Amino acid sequence: MMIPATQSSAPAVSRLRQESQRRLNVGTHVVDIGSLRVLDHPDGLRLSPKAAAVLLELAHRPNSTVSRDELLATVWRDTCPTPDVLTQAVTELRRAFGDDAAAPRYIETLPKLGYRLIAATHFSDVELAPREETIAGTRAPASNGEIFVPDEAPSRLPQLLVAACLGALTVAAVLAVFRHYAAPAALVPRWQMQEWRALTAEPGPERYPAISPDGTRVAFSSGDATRHNARLVVRSVDSPRTVQLSQFPGAEEYYPVWSPDGARIAFLRFTNDAGCQVVVAPGLGGEERVLRPCFNREINNFSWAPDGSHLVTTMFSGVQRADLAVTRISLDDGAATTLDYAHAPDDKDIDARYSPDGRFIAFRRGLRPFGDFWVMPANGGAPRQLTFLASRIRGFDWTRDGRALVFSSNHEGEQALYVVDVEDGRIQPLGLAPAQFPSAARDRDTIVYEIARVRTQLARLPLDGKSPATDVLPSTANDSLPALSPVDARLAYVSTRSGRPQVWLHDPAYRTAVALTELADGLPGEPVWRADGKRLLVVVRGKAHGGLVEIDLATRKSRAIAQAGDAVRYAAYGAGADRYLVVEGDAPPTLVELSPNGRRVLARGVGRVEYDAAAGAIWFTRTTERGLFRLDPNGRETLVTNEVSQLYPDGWRSVGGTIFYFQRAKEDGRTQLHRLEPSTGEDRTLASFDEPPADLAFSIAASRDAAVIVKTPQFDNDVGMFTLRRSPQ
């Protein structure tokens, strides 16, 4: 049935959900609102949610001018967006429709007024629901979520902006080779989300919610506005009154998990004296018992066995092992027993959870940002890979019927909730973002989750031990993965200021910040500078794992160095022109050198790599053991220091032969930034953080007197709740 486009005052995000089972015909193009795909596009192009929301706002007022202010206020409601985010969204739409801003056939720009949709437009109802992503059920090589809580000359400006726009189009064309999101056939959704509501709205963060088995109570970690002394509290889903679970003074408490009968709660407690402990307490408060110290003084997620006899978590499988393996912890004496299952020495298995009937265990394999789900029988054996996302996963749980996992992932950009069926690996988005750490009840179809109201921002930290950190550039978006130029003050970084993660370049000399990429799919990784500051390497991750592109900053042109199927994890420039150091693959990750002479394998089991021109050597970490290693030109490997942890793959940098790295202090668990001189062995602490950086990825100035870190100016997470039911088939 054809339905004319009509004006509506519904909020943009709500409109996307309300019209998810409709299609929008725009000129000769058809947009499926549920999947955000341009159906007639040869690559099955998917619009970003913000671009789709702008399109809907214009479509509901065809041939009418909608002001920029109105679009910003509607689509970016409850945020403080910069005007460039709207420009980026309109650019994305024009690219999708093959439109020309100078001779528009679809979207007309009215200078100083706004935009007008001039193409013929109508909606049509369809019997199909939003499309799901289909994940192949075949096995693939193994590949985290986090397992810890710390786990712009005026005369030149127009030329820069024009070059940026032209270059961005070139980048978009080259990066198209990484869009391996084939348009799947439309599928009826297997899961329906209903009855959403927010449970908390207090100042300060409420984190790690866990719902009781009967679905009547929620336990979570409640912090004050400055995030000190986070304590565990319990509240009814029908009442705002909370009860503090324990009265232990001066502690930080996280990650509650209910016992199967709802009588007890296990959680993690951090104190200066005792470090991290696993504690078990009655669900209504009372006498508690310390079960055992935490693994590695970090938050490592765990869950109860369905029969209540033990906890299941992941730990090192041996004293000299650097893996993480599924482990049972006895509730009688705290003894740990590693489960017997197919597990390689460099596998990092995180967050193990029993299915409701106790027959299976699901877990995540791979340190951030390359996690995926695996499932195996509860008694061990051969695990089966369930997803092939290579994404940052922040929490998951089994659905009530044990037939699927509900989880949080950033494989489509923003951290959002999805459901994956255990039998065939089909993934369905639930449309909730930002969202993380879901917890499912066992006796009801109720799920609680953490509403991630977090904003990350880049800050410059002088390394004199006295001066405070200051903001690098204003932002209302999430900025991360900073990389300072080795020759000047320019800064490359990843930001969501255009709606989804893109690589941006900040030039303080001209007071500019321009986007270097326009990815419609895939996620950009850490940008890496060439030694002369003229080019950048960027890993682009997607469902086919990672590809690698190089961006020439003078022309904004880019070229592919490696395709998405090569599963690139990290990359750096090597010695000499056109030499690249690439960490690729998963079993194990292999360090190779790409050069005009071909491809040469340098080492295996490698985590992250950098080339140090001053030392003429390669620095790298391993996935199989602690430490930072040096690879000489003659191929000889040596251990530089044992203080760099393989669990923090982003947490170290080298500049001019000096190593900088993050470490958690053994005395009080505080995050510290260290400086190591490999030539002398001198290792000293440069900074200690009351609140750890939001992300351990950082950058050091070439002068080695300052760092750019990622801080969290806003951290006010809340708890949300909804019902999730399987659709009648």
Prediction pTM value: 0.66
- Supply the pLDDT for residue 154: 30
Matching residue, tokens 């021109």: 613
In order of 38, 179, 430, 441, 447, the CA distances from 17 in angstroms are: 17, 25, 10, 25, 19
Main-chain phi, psi angles of 664, to 5 degrees = -90, 125
Distance CA 435, CA 718 (A): 10
- Supply the pLDDT for residue 362: 97
Are the CB atoms for 109 and 115 separated by under 8 Å? yes
Distance CA 591, CA 606 (A): 6
The arrangement of strands across the sheet holding 617-622 comes to: 606-612, 617-622, 628-631, 637-641
CA neighbor of 536 nearest in space, from 518, 554, 514, 521: 554
- Supply the pLDDT for residue 626: 85
- Supply the pLDDT for residue 473: 85
**Residue 158 identity:** P
Distance CA 55, CA 130 (A): 18
CA neighbor of 641 nearest in space, from 686, 675, 598, 692: 675
Query: Is the preceding omega at residue 588 within 30 degrees of 0, hence cis?
Result: yes
Distance CA 430, CA 419 (A): 7
The arrangement of strands across the sheet holding 360-365 comes to: 349-354, 360-365, 372-377, 384-385
Are the CB atoms for 576 and 620 separated by under 8 Å? no
pLDDT higher than threshold 70 for residue 112: yes
Distance CA 40, CA 49 (A): 18
Return the SS3 of 82: coil
* pLDDT mean over 81-101: 84
More confident residue, 242 or 485: 485
Return the SS3 of 112: coil
Range in 121-130, 207-216, 253-262 the model is least confident about:
121-130
* pLDDT mean over 389-403: 92
Q: Does some domain include residue 9?
A: yes
Query: What residues contact residue 354 under an 8 Å CB cut-off, 6+ apart?
Result: 303, 304, 305, 306, 312, 360, 361, 378, 398
- Supply the pLDDT for residue 711: 87
Matching residue, tokens 């999947």: 35
Q: Does some domain include residue 79?
A: yes
Are the CB atoms for 182 and 404 separated by under 8 Å? no
Are the CB atoms for 318 and 327 separated by under 8 Å? no
- Supply the pLDDT for residue 180: 34
Q: Which two tokens stand for residue 684?
A: 């000293």
**pLDDT confidence bin for 569, thresholds 50/70/90:** confident
In order of 6, 652, 655, 660, 680, the CA distances from 677 in angstroms are: 67, 13, 10, 9, 6
Phi-psi sector, 36: left (phi>0), alpha (psi -120 to 50), beta: left
pLDDT higher than threshold 60 for residue 408: yes
CB-facing half-sphere around the CA of 61: CA atoms within 13 A: 16
Distance CA 140, CA 15 (A): 38
pLDDT higher than threshold 70 for residue 147: no
Q: Does some domain include residue 687?
A: no
Range in 286-300, 355-369, 449-463, 534-548 the model is least confident about:
286-300
- Supply the pLDDT for residue 603: 92
pLDDT higher than threshold 90 for residue 130: no
Main-chain phi, psi angles of 173, to 5 degrees = -65, -40
Q: Does some domain include residue 345?
A: no
Q: Which two tokens stand for residue 365?
A: 């394999």
| pLDDT tens, position by position, 171-209 | 444 444 343 333 344 456 889 999 898 898 777 788 999
Burial class (CB in 10 A: 0-12, 13-18, 19+), 176: middle
Range in 87-96, 315-324, 551-560 the model is least confident about:
315-324
More confident residue, 320 or 134: 320
- Supply the pLDDT for residue 311: 93
List, in sequence order, every residue forming a beta bridge with 494; answer none if it has no partner: 480, 503
Q: What CATH number has the domain bearing residue 84?
A: 1.10.10.10
Q: Does some domain include residue 85?
A: yes
Count of structural domains within the chain: 1
* pLDDT mean over 94-122: 86
Q: Does some domain include residue 48?
A: yes
Q: Domain of 28?
A: 2-130
Burial class (CB in 10 A: 0-12, 13-18, 19+), 99: buried
Q: What percent of the chain clears pLDDT 70, i.e. is strictly above it?
A: 83
* pLDDT mean over 539-567: 81
Distance CA 197, CA 722 (A): 6
pLDDT higher than threshold 50 for residue 702: yes
Query: Is the preceding omega at residue 293 within 30 degrees of 0, hence cis?
Result: no
pLDDT higher than threshold 60 for residue 440: yes
Q: Does some domain include residue 25?
A: yes
| pLDDT tens, position by position, 641-674 | 999 887 777 889 999 889 999 987 766 667 899 9
List, in sequence order, every residue forming a beta bridge with 210; answer none if it has no partner: 219
The DSSP-derived string for 227-241 is --S-EEEEEETT---
| pLDDT tens, position by position, 299-345 | 468 899 999 999 999 888 875 566 889 999 999 888 889 999 998 88
Q: Taken in order 514, 481, 536, 614, is the CA torsion positive or negative?
A: positive
State the Cα torsion 474-475-478-480 to the nearest 10°: -30
**pLDDT confidence bin for 512, thresholds 50/70/90:** confident
Q: Give the 3-state secondary structure of 199-221.
A: CCCCCCCEEEEEECCCCCEEEEE
Mean pLDDT of the chain: 81
Q: In this structure, how many other beta carbons lie within 10 angstroms of the beta carbon of residue 142?
A: 21
Q: Does some domain include residue 110?
A: yes
| pLDDT tens, position by position, 344-383 | 887 889 899 999 999 999 999 987 667 899 999 999 999 9
